[in-house]
Amino acid sequence: MRPNTDYLLDDVATIRELVRENPWASIVSFVPGKGLIASHYPILLDDDADGIVLLSHVGRPDERLHELGGHEAMVIIYGPQGYVSPSWYDASPAVPTWNFAVAHLYGTPELLSDEENLQVLERLVDHFEHPLPEPYLMNRTLENADYAARIVHGTVGFRMRVTRFEAKDKMSQDKPAGVIGRVIDALGKPGPYQNPALAARMRAVNEVSA
């Protein structure tokens, strides 16, 4: 990722929150003889661990493709992103841009036992079902629990301690306060580029009151 101090995100707590809020991730490996391999899975943050530690599982075919655990991998987390029109700036000269939050997290995955993998699967299901009025939990019935125990053998769980990272939070920090305010307003209005999530992050990063 091209370094840019204006948009640098180097705060571990902020990156942890980015993972919590945006759990859909890309897993990228360079495998000798195969080249670059990419897969896409939901990721959880291990809140019981210090630093940044990721939990997830992949299908066994992906585990073999990545040779997971044999070398470093990169997990890409995507936050709010979207187009910013220069017509919103009320300033000249101006050009279009794209605002975004993203983190590249590096580490060597540690493969989990079937029992640990089952626990990760249960945490994933609980995490995403919890907001629903009637959560469909993995162990809600004996039948469901038995089914989960059978299919877990087709997946491989992993834990990845992040040993280094590169991250950016490009939210128009280089623009005057008036321009930032106009962009936030435009992103909140109905239209082809309405983007409440990006507007909210711009407001938070630039400390703009609602």
**What DSSP line would sit under 73-88, residue for residue?**
EEEEEEEEEEEE-GGG
pLDDT of the residue at 136? 83
pLDDT of the residue at 204? 96
Three-state DSSP at 161 gives strand
**Two tokens, residue 27:** 């897993």
Asked if 78 contacts 42 with a C-beta cutoff of 8 angstroms, the reply is no
Q: In whole angstroms, what is the distance from residue 96 CA to residue 15 CA?
A: 27
pLDDT of the residue at 145? 67
| pLDDT category of residue 141 using cuts at 50, 70 and 90 | low
Tokens 């989990």 map to which residue?
Answer: 112
Question: Mean pLDDT for the chain?
Answer: 93
Write the pLDDT tens digit of every residue in 18-68.
999 999 999 999 999 999 999 999 999 999 999 999 999 999 999 999 999
Out of 21-35, 83-97, 137-151, pick the least confident.
137-151
Note the pTM of the prediction, 2 decimals: 0.92
**Two tokens, residue 94:** 């101006």
- Amino acid of residue 174: D
pLDDT exceeds cutoff 90 at 104: yes
Instruction: Name residue 59's beta-bridge partners.
Output: 155
DSSP single-letter state for residue 153: G
